[in-house]
Structure 1
Amino acid sequence: MSLGFKISGRIGKPVAEVFDAVVNPTKLSGYFTTIGGASAPLVAGTTVTWWKAVPVEVDEVIADKRIVMRWDGSGPDVRPPYKTRIEMNFEPLDDGGTFVTIVETGWYEDEAGRKSSYGNCEGWSHMLACMKAYLEYGINLREGFYPSEMRGELPTSERK
């Protein structure tokens, strides 16, 4: 058995715009990967870098529907290292908005796995809130949110 979580929320923009805000590195860097950005668009079969330090392996991209990725789930002290799986689903709503669901699974069921999963749950929840503010109101909620970012460092929840 492994640890995981699921978060979700509504964004008041069409699914194509919300999906693009995740796969497009310029847009993603405007609200989430603000320190160091995203190195390239999310394309199945590629590895991109977020925050100049975190490799993200892109397994599947179905336009306007789903993105599946993997990244390091273990810290530097965990051997052997392992990956967690992130699945993002985008559901168009009758009102023209989009319901986004993010599921991350695969942590070892131990203290280090629990700690990492909690941190990533916080990070993805913040990402979804920041994306909503960015797309709906043009606001970057992340700017100055983490003291570490004010120093140009990654937030603790996103250090791998």
Structure 2
Amino acid sequence: MSLGFKVSGRIAKPVAEVFDAVVNPKKLSAYFTTLGGASAPLVAGTTVTWWKSVPVEVDEVVPSERIVLRWDGPESEPRYKTRIEMTFKPLDDGATFVTIAESGWREDETGRHASYGNCEGWAEMLSCMKAWLEYGINLREGFYPSEMRGELPTSSEDK
């Protein structure tokens, strides 16, 4: 058995715009991967780098519907990867319902601890994406002591 979680949220923008805010590295770097950015677009079969040092394997990209990623689990032996699945559902009011599920942690103390941290991180990502897309606000700017100021766009108007 492995651990997993799911977080979801409504973003008051059309599916195509919300989806693009994840696959487009300039946009993702503006609200989520702000400390080092995203190295390339999310394209199936590629590996991109987030935050200058985190390799993200892109397994599947279905435009405006679904993204499946894998990345390294916590440092333990033997090494393993967790699976991230993002889904984008259009709502009747023109908004988008985004769900991010991550699974595959080992059911041990290290796996539990890592899954809690990632659950927090993905919930933060949804909040940051909502604030950036709907209001042009970068919630992460100044949030971390080592924030890289002036290098990345700080509002959705800069895209």
**TM-score, scaled relative to structure 2:** 0.91
Q: Matched residues in 2 for 1:4 and 1:104: separation?
A: 5
Q: In the alignment, residue 109 of structure 2 is paired with which amino acid? A: E
Q: In the alignment, residue 100 of structure 1 is paired with which amino acid? A: V
- Secondary structure, aligned partner of 2:141: coil
Query: 2:46, 2:57 within 8 Å by CA — same for their partners in 1?
Result: yes
Q: Matched residues in 1 for 2:123 and 2:58: separation?
A: 20
Q: Matched residues in 1 for 2:20 and 2:148: separation?
A: 27
Q: In the alignment, residue 131 of structure 2 is paired with which amino acid? A: A
Q: Matched residues in 2 for 1:69 and 1:5: separation?
A: 15
- Determine which of 126, 129, 132 is the counterpart of 1:131: 129
Per the alignment, residue 154 of structure 2 pairs with none
Structural RMSD (CA): 1.2
Q: Matched residues in 1 for 2:111 and 2:78: separation?
A: 13
Count of residues in Structure 1 that have an aligned counterpart in Structure 2: 149
Q: In the alignment, residue 143 of structure 1 is paired with which amino acid? A: E
Deviation at 1:70, TM superposition (A): 0.1
1:103-123: per-residue Cα shift (whole Å, max 9, x none)? 000000000000000000000
Task: Select between 2-11 and 140-149 the one with higher mean Cα deviation.
Answer: 140-149
Q: In the alignment, residue 74 of structure 1 is paired with which amino acid? A: P
Q: In the alignment, residue 28 of structure 2 is paired with which amino acid? A: L
Per the alignment, residue 56 of structure 1 pairs with 56
Per the alignment, residue 73 of structure 1 pairs with 73
How do 1:6-155 residues align onto structure 2 when only pairs under 5 Å count? 6-75=6-75, 78-149=76-147
Q: Matched residues in 1 for 2:84 and 2:49: separation?
A: 15
Q: In the alignment, residue 132 of structure 2 is paired with which amino acid? A: Y
- Secondary structure, aligned partner of 1:119: helix
Q: In the alignment, residue 40 of structure 2 is paired with which amino acid? A: A
Q: In the alignment, residue 106 of structure 1 is paired with which amino acid? A: G
Q: Matched residues in 2 for 1:41 and 1:81: separation?
A: 26
- Secondary structure, aligned partner of 1:140: coil
Unaligned runs of 5+ in 1: 152-160
Aligned CA distance change for structure 1 residues 100 and 60 (closer, same or farther; 3 Å): same
Query: 2:58, 2:69 within 8 Å by CA — same for their partners in 1?
Result: yes
Q: Matched residues in 2 for 1:146 and 1:133: separation?
A: 17
**TM-score, scaled relative to structure 1:** 0.91
Unaligned runs of 5+ in 2: 150-159
Identity %: 81
